[in-house]
Amino acid sequence: MNKPLFIIEIAAALLIFGCSTGDNSEAGDMTHANGTPVATGGYATGPTAGMEGQAGRKDDAPGEMMDGGVQTLPPEKEKLVDFEQPQAGKRFVFVVNPETDSVFIIDSKNFAVKTAHPPGDKPTFLKTVESPTDEADIAIVLNAPLVAKDEENNAAVIRAKADEEPTANALRVVKNSNVIAVSPDGRHAVVYYNSNYSSASDSSGRYQDVTVISLSKESDQSFNITVGFRPSAVYFTSDGTKGFVVTEDGVSILDFAEIERSGAGVAETVSLGYTLSERPSDVSITADGRYALARLQNDAAVYLVDLETRSIKALNLVLKEIINRDSDADDDDAGVDPRVSQGQITDLDLAASGDYAVAVLRDTSEVLKIPVPQAFDDPSQINATKIDGVVIGLSELAPDGRHALLYTTVVPDERVTVLDLEGETKPQTVRLQKSIETVAIAPDSKNALLIHTKQEGWREDPAIDENTRIDRSYGYSILRLADGFPKLQVTDTQLGPFVITPEYLFILFRDDALSIKEVQRVSLVSLQVDTIGLKRPPYSIGSISQFERVFIAQEQAGGLITLMDWKGDLREDISGFDRNPKIERGSEK
């Protein structure tokens, strides 16, 4: 199973400007890149704006009082992944223009621009596909939800190649689709409507349909498949042969070969075993597609579902013992563990390899490394590490699986703990200068970007001291995982989207009120920060791997994209590609 990684292109859209925090909902998992919605490219500056992609399912009520009057901490908050447009393929940058029903394709090598006119109205959502078998850059584009009158030609597959005119193959997909998930082999995509990602009050009314797109340069095809209720995320096996749609009814399995043979149909949906009163969270699928892993909200239970045999195993991670689900399966209160007060899981992450999962028990300051599936038969294989004196509620696994970062978002704790998951070194708690809002680890697993919270209050108040001034500022830290060395960078406004290249981290900053429009280039070697001014307010950044360039899209009539090499030395501004031409005959003389 391919758990989506923080590859460079995906990191391009890791955060949206000004997005607020979400609960531990399924879609809030930062690693659900392949199943992430594509946003319309709007720029959000308010503290709660840009949250179209936030999952609507709320977790526990914050700060609830437990029996005995002991106040518990509110739930942890993990940041949301979101995509911003435009997006880059291997060579081309794709920019949609709903107003002119066009997709502009910019060649990052020589700045040539081509225009594709996908069928239908208002192409809005776009996702690039890296296909190992197709030398063309591929993008799937969906027309705007609630605009398309029917399902005829409401999506297209665009292919762009050097020295050839782009092609746009029309497809019909589930009406109002707003999510595109692409398999790791680039051969299939799953398109569906997720109301959590839409601000519109209307919906398609088709809460149990997804469209499977079979990508082939000879003939693209689409198949409508019935799945469980309200799909919220999609996973794929690492070989791309199967897809898994997380729904409220369980995990619906998409066998692409079978779908291409049989056409439209009903996907087999495997229950995760929880009851009507239980609320699963952090659902993930192992790399080989064999197991689904989920935890229950407000609970110490973790479920492992064998997607082949349908067998379900459960562990109580507080007690480190197997839960016998059969004994109380019919009880109304089956999901309510009387021992919940002993602790609950606040985060559950599956390693990219699928070999183990990491769970965080905030109440007991424990981190558990859970071998999958072995620990579900033998809980003694669980390796528990207690982090004394630190509040930890969330974990973030490095792509190489070697380290995990442990932190909390619910108290202003200015610390982060680096945990060596191989146990060769002791956990290292690092003192920071600001508390953490969210964390991202670079693809090479060497550095982490810690985005800090900003405390209320005027930071220029002459009555406050330096530390308070720092707390009242926006900022981020780069943390070296090898030795835990952090470097703080205070900023004038909140961080925008960022992209990580092998040597540099590029972060966008924008604040229209303060006239801030810049990109900060952070050397991942020296940790030095350079600020590069931009012409216009930026809204999107991405990386073009083939020519080692970063693109930054900025708001300007006619379009403006700045291309710079991965070192940020060479810059080219290109504009005017986004146009709405008008040619007509004038009146008689």
Partner 1 sequence: MSARCFISSVLFFLILLAYGCGERDDLAIPVDLMQPLALGPKVVFIDKSLYKAYLLDVTKKEIEPKVTAADLPPRPLLVQKRNQVDELLILCAGQQDTEGKEEKPAALAVLKSDGGVRKYEIERGFNSLIQSQDGRYVFLSVQGQTEDDPTATNTIVLPQNVMFIDLEKKPSDESARFSLLLGNSISNVPTGVSFSPEMSVAGKSRRLALIQSTDIVWLVDLSTPDSPPIFIQPNVGQQFSFEQALFDEKKKRLFLRGSNTDTINILDFAEDTDASSATDMLPLPVLRDPRLVAQGPSDMALYTVGDRTYLLVVSNGSNVATIIDTDSSTVATVALPVVANRILMFSSTAASESEAPSAQALLYNHGGQYNVVTFIDLANIDLEGTERLKAESVESVYFDTYFDQLSVVPNGNIVVLINTNGKQVSLLDLAERNVFPIKTPSQMKVIADSRVNKLWFEPRTNDQNNDRLVYLDLETFSSEDVRLDSQIEHALLVGTEAEAQIAIVHPSSIGYVTVLDAKSPSRKSAVSVEGFFISHVLDRGEP
Task: Measure the CA–CA gap between 11 and 399, rounded to whole angstroms.
Answer: 13
Tell me which residue has tokens 């704006």: 49
Q: Is 113 in the site for partner 1 (CB under 8 A)?
A: yes
Closer by beta carbon to partner 1, 19 or else 88: 88
Output the CA torsion sign for 455, 457, 459, 465: negative
Q: Give whichever of 100 and 381 is closer to partner 1, judged by the CB atom.
A: 100
Using CB under 8 A, which of the segments 6-14, 76-84, 518-526, 577-585 binds partner 1? 577-585
Task: Select the residue interacting with partner 1 from 333, 377, 557, 567 (CB under 8 A).
Answer: 557
What contacts 4, CB < 8 A, 6 or more positions away?
A: 10, 31, 32, 33, 34, 35, 235
Long-range contacts of 104-111 (CB under 8 A, 24+ apart): 104/559, 104/577, 104/578, 105/137, 105/158, 105/160, 105/166, 106/561, 106/574, 106/577, 107/162, 108/544, 108/546, 108/547, 108/549, 108/551, 108/563, 109/162, 109/546, 109/547, 111/563, 111/572, 111/574
| Residue in 117, 114, 176 with CA at minimum distance from that of residue 142 | 176
135 near partner 1, judged by CB under 8 A: no
Among 67, 69, 388, 585, binds partner 1 (CB under 8 A): 585
Q: How far apart are CA 163 and CA 415, in angstroms?
A: 53
Among the listed residues 152, 331, 377, 572, the single contact to partner 1 using CB under 8 A:
572
CA 243 vs. chain centroid, Å, equals: 17
Nearest approach, Cβ of residue 543 and partner 1 (Å): 19
- Nearest of 75, 61, 48 to residue 394 by alpha carbon: 75
Least Å distance between CB 578 and partner 1?
Answer: 8
Distance CA(576)–CA(415), nearest Å, equals 46
User: Which of 115, 221, 275, 381 lies at the binding interface for partner 1 (CB under 8 A)?
Assistant: 115
Is position 114 an interface residue for partner 1 (rule: CB under 8 A)? Answer: yes
Under the binding rule (CB under 8 A), the answer on residue 564 touching partner 1 is no
Bridging pattern class, strands 549-554 and 538-544: antiparallel
112 in contact with partner 1 (CB under 8 A): yes
By CB under 8 A, residue 546 contacts partner 1: no
The residue among 68 and 581 lying less far from partner 1, judged by its C-beta, is: 581
Q: Which of 33, 106, 397, 505 binds partner 1 (CB under 8 A)?
A: 106
Tell me the per-residue interface mask from 159 to 188 with partner 1, x by CB under 8 A, - otherwise: ----x-------------------------
Nearer to partner 1, 185 or 578 (CB): 578
Stretch that binds partner 1, among 213-221, 325-333, 502-510, 572-580 (CB under 8 A): 572-580
Task: Give the shortest CB-45-to-partner 1 separation in angstroms.
Answer: 23
Judged by DSSP in three states, 98 sits in helix
As measured in angstroms, the least distance from the Cβ of 168 to partner 1 is 14
Site for partner 1 (CB under 8 A): which residue of 205, 460, 463, 582? 582
Give the whole-angstrom CA distance, residue 422 versus residue 402: 6
Strand-pair category, 415-420 with 383-386: unpaired
Interface contacts to partner 1, rule CB under 8 A: 106-107, 109-115, 163, 557-558, 572-589
